[in-house]
Structure 1
Amino acid sequence: MYDTPEDLKQRLSMAVQSGPDAGSSDFDLNPEMSLPQARKLRPAGVLVPISLASGAPRVTLTKRSSALKHHPGQIAFPGGKVDEGDRDVTHTALREAWEEIGLPQDLPEVLGALPTHETVTSFTVTPVVALLRSEFDIRPEAGEVAEVFSVPLSHVLDPANYIIESRRWRGTRRRYYTVPYGPYYIWGATARMLRQFADRMQS
């Protein structure tokens, strides 16, 4: 897909820096749903870590603990809400990745951020894209992370791998993206952010 790591870095940098857009939302595929104009959204940052350490680029993801209040048991990027002491959402994403999976904060080569994503749980999430050029000792935080795994970057950047599914949510039929990989059912906010990433890489 890419000849060299530097070629990949250039393509990724172009994708994240290609200019702002309206962002994405968990409600994208449900235009009939009306959102309150006065809704209060909490800022959050997640890291999209792309590892080059084992040959073909792979994206590191987590399976959230089933005991968590928000999105229990779902596939997610390492990350979380912005704390008062965080400098910005990039600092949040790096801090949370260290806390959740043991990723040293000086290892990721941050390339930039994708447009924000609004979740059904009232967060506005900024996905921060970064390259990992070496491996690290993965240490899942037991209270938050049930599993850490990776998927090929080529898989999540191929729009043909995305499926639109639906389920009942708060009395209505809600549609959402999925991008399954092996035993992992990647859906909802994570799949939507990845789909936006895939679209920007195609342009």
Structure 2
Amino acid sequence: MDHRIDHFRARLAQTGIGSSDFDLNPDTVLPEGRKLRPAGVLAPIVRNGDALSLLLTKRSAALKHHPGQIAFPGGKQDESDADVIAAALREAHEEIGLHPDNVEVLGTLAPHETVTSFSVTPVIGVVKSPFDIVPEPGEVEEVFAVPLDHVLDPANYIVESRRWRGQKRHYFVVPYGPYYIWGATARMLRAWSETLQN
């Protein structure tokens, strides 16, 4: 088991290539000089015997932005945060009740640029010991686990499209049971899987 964790840590130590919500849409023209706001999200790995799973959240349907979507716990970096890793750990504590001291950070992926002008750094971490999941009321509808092997297998990804702001936009999807994991979350997971293939 630990050899897999060591492999993750070793791959994350190598500089990766950044991803974006525009990867599958090469015709998109991004404005020069655009300013991206830093953010961090946590990919919390949990152990269940010999199996590894990833915790994800389903956002509340009442939220103004991205209601009902599958997401990592995380958010924008506040002035009080030392860096994007601290932001990811703080937000995970607020959103799902995972204390920062209970996370062993393995490393980060290269930042991901979103359509909402964030530069999101995915932080990969292992949950050290079991904890009581406490979804943040009003923001997190559900916290669930997906087998890590499922989201790290490139063969499980498909490309779909929909119209967005008058244009057809393509994006990755990695479905799991009743959960439709797509968009930025799926792209960041796909980027993680790509780092492990090299």
Fold match by TM threshold 0.5? yes
Alignment coverage as a number of residue pairs: 198
Match of 1:28 in 2: 23
- Which residue is equivalent to 1:123? 118
* Residue 160 in structure 1 maps to residue 155 in structure 2: yes
Whole-Å separation in 2 of the counterparts to 1:42 and 1:77: 17
What displacement does 1:182 show?
A: 0.1
Q: Output the amino acid matched with 2:71.
A: A
**What is the alpha-carbon distance in structure 1 between the residues aligned to residue 176 and residue 87 of structure 2?**
27
What is the aligned partner in structure 2 of residue 62 from structure 1?
57
Aligned to 1:40: 35
Q: TM-score normalized by structure 2?
A: 0.97
Distance 1:69 1:11 in 2: 38
Whole-angstrom distance in 2 between the partners of 1:61 and 1:19: 25
Indicate the percent of aligned positions where both proteins have the same amino acid: 64
Question: 4+ residue stretches of structure 1 with deviation over 4 A?
Answer: none
Given that residues 157 and 197 in structure 1 are in contact (C-alpha distance below 8 angstroms), is that contact kept between their aligned partners in structure 2? yes
CA contact (8 A) 1:65 1:73 kept: yes
Q: Which has the larger displacement, 157-166 or 33-42?
A: 33-42
Q: Does structure 1 conserve the Cα–Cα contact (< 8 Å) formed by 2:16 and 2:195?
A: no
Which one of the candidate residues 4, 10, 15 is aligned to 2:6? 10
Higher mean C-alpha deviation, range 54-63 or range 184-193: 54-63
Aligned to 1:172: 167
Q: TM-score of the superposition, structure 1-length normalised?
A: 0.95
Instruction: Look up the equivalent residue of 1:184 and give its one-letter code.
Output: Y
Equivalence for 1:148: 143
Segments of structure 2 that go 5 or more residues without pairing to the other structure are: none
Q: SS at the partner of 1:57? A: strand
Asked if the contact 1:15–1:197 (Cα under 8 Å) also holds between the matched residues in 2, the reply is no
**Equivalent in the alignment of 2:101:** 106
Superposed CA RMSD in Å reads 1.0
